[in-house]
Amino acid sequence: MSEERNLPRCSGITSSGTRCERVVSYEGELCYSHDPTKAEERKATASKAGKLSRKGNPVEEVVALRARLDEILNDVLEGEISTGIGQVAATIIGTSLRSFEVERKQKEYTELAEKVEELERMYRYRREDTAGPFDVGGYS
């Protein structure tokens, strides 16, 4: 573990005023968040993440989210964005995807409940057919 302690750390200052302790590849290097030459890249990544809107067709949203996840994976593999940024972005997208899943299940359940109710009503109608059509839909 002493090996890890000797790794070069970013000398940037975090927003809370403490020194950034992120591991960098060589002494004096600044990490992705603190390197001023990466500012443009950070902005691009932030705007990519900002494109995650919540409106529109859920299926299209899920497809778009998956595509973005794929883009991020490629960017990480090609070294265009740091693994840290990629990880955060992937986590956010993953959470978003899960929320769609919950939404979908809830919708499925509601639809199923409505169908069951409709079937019950039809069944009751058939059974009460002999009693006359005026009993249809009654919950007595």
Residue number of the CB closest to Zn ion reads: 20
* Cα 72 → chain centroid: 13
Shortest Cβ 20–Zn ion spacing (Å): 3
- Binding residues vs Zn ion (CB under 5 A): 10, 12, 20, 22, 31, 34
Shortest Cβ 71–Zn ion spacing (Å): 24
Contact 58, 103 (CB under 8 A): yes
CB atoms near residue 124 (< 10 Å)? 15
CA distance 104 to 111: 10
CA distance 36 to 72: 22
> Closest CB to Zn ion among 6 and 95?
6
Shortest Cβ 24–Zn ion spacing (Å): 8
> Closest CB to Zn ion among 20 and 92?
20
CA distance 87 to 8: 22
CB atoms near residue 21 (< 10 Å)? 12
Shortest Cβ 10–Zn ion spacing (Å): 3
> Closest CB to Zn ion among 22 and 68?
22
> Closest CB to Zn ion among 20 and 90?
20
